[in-house]
Amino acid sequence: MEILAGGMDKYFERTGIKATKTWEGEVIGGEVYQVWNMEQKEFEKLVDTTDESYKSDEWWRSADSSNKGTAAVEYILNGKKIKAWDGAKREDYDEEEDEIFEREYESLTRYFCDEIGCSQPRNVVALATDLAAQNGMTMAELFETYETKDPCEACHNALQCLVWSGEGMKAECDNWGYFEQNYVNGPKRAILDAELAEIKED
């Protein structure tokens, strides 16, 4: 069972409810969202807790799905493809007369807000739960893929980091652990290898 939340770390410590934080990140507006995963019996304990047990910055929402139907339109969110929904503003869109609105947004929550018109957590969790299921992923994977910014993507030193890693050296960078996990030993290694090969050819 996944929930969308904010500031729930200490709450779970206080109450003893067992939950695993599977994603955390800043969304549009600067708020920090979390995704937590838990067993059904632990979720039932959470549902039974009283409002008085929460601090002012602790909240969570859950949903089974949304009322949006089939996600059948291709969008680009955070630079990656996803099947999603068109918003109501496109119903009155005349492709020949109106300005073209690209189906591309900087992040998942920007898409929810600007395309679908939803920014409140209770609506976001319904959309995220449904969109994740229809794209064959968990809600944590959805936010990780379409909300989280890659700290190395726009860094001018990324190629140099790859060279250093090949020589057994590490960059003095706060993101080195992320770079090593994803670009040196992970799925993004091919990206920089290709760029490095292109430079050598030149």
pLDDT in tens, 68-125: 999 999 999 988 899 999 998 887 766 655 565 789 999 999 999 999 999 999 999 9
pLDDT at 152: 74
What percent of the chain is predicted at pLDDT more than 70? 95
Residue 195 has pLDDT above 80, yes or no: no
- What confidence tens digit (pLDDT) does each residue in 127-160 have? 999 999 999 999 999 999 999 877 777 677 778 8
Give the Cβ contact number of residue 63 at 10 Å.
18
pLDDT at 139: 97
Find the angle CA(81)-CA(83)-CA(85) to the nearest 5 degrees: 125
Q: Confidence class of residue 62 from pLDDT cuts 50, 70 and 90?
A: very high
Residue 202 has pLDDT above 70, yes or no: no
Strands (DSSP E) found in 9-72: 20-26, 32-37, 59-61
Output DSSP code: residue 5: E
Q: Confidence class of residue 58 from pLDDT cuts 50, 70 and 90?
A: very high
pLDDT at 97: 53
**Of residues 19 and 188, more confidently modeled:** 19
Q: How far apart are alpha carbons 147 and 140 in whole angstroms?
A: 10
pLDDT at 174: 79
For residues 20-39, average pLDDT: 94
- What confidence tens digit (pLDDT) does each residue in 119-130 have? 999 999 999 999
Q: Are strands 73-77 and 2-6 parallel, antiparallel or unpaired?
A: unpaired
3-state DSSP helix/strand/coil % of the chain, to nearest 5: 45, 15, 40
